[in-house]
Amino acid sequence: MKRFIPVLAFAGLAAVMAWGLLIREDRDSLPSAFIEKPAPDFALPKLSNPQKTLTVADLKGDGPVVLNFWASWCAPCRVEHPDLVRLAKEGVRVVGINYKNDPEKAQAFLDQLGDPFEAVGVDERGRAGIEYGVAALPETFVLDAAGTIVYKHVGPINPGELDGKIRPAIEAARR
């Protein structure tokens, strides 16, 4: 009987975890404590001109902003990049935070794939990422004109999520 205790314990734990996953209404979303709260402030050197600073104040006032945390070493960031370029070409304000990345490699990434960003802040030490609760790249936030976070997207944006989640969040931020 003693030899079955670990098996029974594992089976019980697996059943509880499966039950928790199955009762969640939206298993693909991660709840965020940042929704409907002001975006955390940051002051980061700009990739294009390190003597100048990018802050949350720069994001306020001119309609919704898509704030994207990315890095050149991040393969999923490369996958979602065309969708960010598409948003920028449509006139959506897209701002980047280059996370724990060598600025030269970040600039080479943008030179190669195109630069959709109105501005890019360099977060070499990852402090801004911590303030935003970034767990894994890429992560994208949609902010309204007042700098309030209306949506958080974890992982790469794909065309379906662009139309089904990001665009509706941008429209909600316009209201």
Residue-wise pLDDT tens digits, 11-64: 555 555 555 444 444 444 555 678 899 999 999 999 999 999 999 999 998 889
Domain range annotation of the chain: 30-174
User: Is this structure's pTM higher than 0.85?
Assistant: no
CATH fold for the domain made of 30-174: Glutaredoxin (3.40.30)
Cα dihedral 24→27→33→34 (10° resolution): -140
What is the tens place of the pLDDT at every residue in 114-168? 999 999 999 999 999 999 999 999 999 999 999 999 999 999 999 999 999 999 9
The C-alpha R_g of the chain, in whole angstroms, comes to 19
One-character DSSP codes across 140-171: EEEE-TTSBEEEEEES---HHHIIIIIHHHHH
The average pLDDT across 100-121 equals 98
